[in-house]
Amino acid sequence: MSTSAMPEIPWHKARKGEPRQPLSRELIVETGVRLLDAEGLGGVTMRRVAQELGTGPASLYAHVSNKDELCELMLERIAGEIPLPAEPEPARWKEQVLEIALAAQKVFTAHRDISLVSLGAIPLGPNQLRFTEFLLDLLLRAGVPGQQAAWALDALAQLIDVDAYEATLYTGKMSGQDPQAYFESIRGYLHALPADRYPVLSGMADTLVTGDGDQRFVFKIETLLRGLETYIERPAEG
């Protein structure tokens, strides 16, 4: 048997719908990441976040100081998505570093241009420190001297950030285009260069456009790791 809806009591304040979810730092950061994924970093403003949450910008400042802090918190949230191995394995340290770098690059690429926040930032949040702690521990256990290990982390972070940002730029540039056709046009242009002026470039046209983004990123990381390996002291024979 259905029950008819009761009328509102005249002197009670009319409800405006379901109550909003209580505002919190976590909710603000979640909303910022959602805007980032949809529109890129340029779409993340305090006003836009407030609009998405159905409130005014002033109410956000009780939880987040400004846009810079919001972006730092978004980066920290995203860094928590990077998977790490259960334990460092010094015997295969280069393989582990490469695996972690690939995972980090894919996470950052999935979140548009968040790498612009990471570039130049010092990792201080728990998720970022977790990432740094694991890599530094791994390099030290493998025998890389402390100073070189510290500098290597800086170089590795830059490679990840720049590659992820470039991937975002390519995604935007390739919107509505066939990537294969684009690179074929580049190949054709290089082949057509005057050989008397650009003999090396025209002769290596096929080689220069060979390899996808992942292959090129792996090459960069492997080159760094091979150089880093030269700092490891080998036990003297005899």
Q: Is residue 20 part of a domain?
A: no
Q: Within a domain: residue 235?
A: no
Model pLDDT, residue 13 = 57
Do 88 and 134 meet the contact criterion of CB atoms below 8 Å apart? yes
**Start-end of H helices in the chain:** 25-39, 46-52, 57-60, 67-79, 93-110, 115-118, 126-141, 146-173, 179-192, 199-203, 205-208, 213-229
Q: Supply the pTM of this predicted model.
A: 0.84
Domain CATH number, residue 69 = 1.10.10.60
In this structure, the answer to whether residues 199 and 113 fall within a common structural domain is: yes
Question: In this structure, are residues 59 and 41 in contact, taking their beta carbons and an 8 Å threshold?
Answer: no
pLDDT at position 42: 93
Residue 10 falls within a domain, yes or no?
A: no
**68 with 94, same domain?**
no
Average pLDDT, 10 consecutive residues per value, the chain (238 residues): 66 56 91 96 95 94 94 97 97 98 96 94 94 98 97 96 90 73 90 95 94 94 97 74
Q: How many domains does the chain have?
A: 2
Q: Is 63 part of a structural domain of the chain?
A: yes
- Read off the CATH number of the domain in which 135 is found: 1.10.357.10
Residues 94 and 74 in one domain: no
Range of the domain at 101: 90-229
Q: Please answer whether residues 161 and 109 qualify as being in contact, where contact means their C-beta atoms are separated by less than 8 angstroms.
A: no
pLDDT reported for residue 181: 86
> What is the model's pLDDT at position 168?
86
In a domain, 1, yes or no: no
